[in-house]
Structure 1
Amino acid sequence: MLKYRVCLRYFMAKENEVIQFIGVSDLSDADQATVNHVTMNHFDKVKRELQNITNMSIHVKTYQKEGSRQKYSLHVKVAAPTKIFDSSSSDDWDLARALHMAFEDIVKQIQHTFHSNRSRPDNK
């Protein structure tokens, strides 16, 4: 009975994790695969810092579509029960680099808010 409850709790937790992609359908198949791969790698890092994620949305915007190169702008929003973390300052010519910058900004905001990377204890 205990194993069944543990398995059920694990699968229910996986179903509650919501990642919403906005604007990804306008990208090429290779770019969609890049967004999916980088997001899944960084989702584990964000979840390690912030255990109770309720929603994560990734909004991809492309600029200069008619030229040979596209510029990507990313807005990543991570919602927790107590606070919403938003990164909207990431734009680059390389999609993977812009994604990495946005997720690193989110991790820095979480660490700054909750001080999860303390290297010294409080001496009170």
Structure 2
Amino acid sequence: MDINWKAVIIGFILAIVLSFILGAILGTWGAILGYLLATIYVGYSIGGEWMNGAIHGALVGVIAGIIGLLLALILGAVIGGAAGLAILGAGLLMSIVYIVIYAVIGGIGGAIGVFVAER
């Protein structure tokens, strides 16, 4: 199986934009919905088997989680001191959790996208 990196990158950008817009309107659930819609798009655009869509959607989730980890590292370094260390520690722990959650949601969204493309 080949990874369609173009679809993954477009899905990641779409996830950021939709999560920001829907999150501003609907709150946390809007951000999750935006992310799910983006991964459904990824699964729809690549087609094939459901596992292919799930892998591509999960890749979008892992990339989003890694970007969140990098942002936590930057924020902890900029603030500095005890507060920066606390933010850094919490950010690292939460980033690992977010990577797993985003990968699962992305996999589900990618599989849904493949099912929609088949219909």
Return the TM-score normalized by structure 2. Answer: 0.28
The structure carrying a bigger helix percent of its residues is 2
Return the TM-score normalized by structure 1. Answer: 0.28
Higher RCO, Cα 8 Å, sep 6+? 2
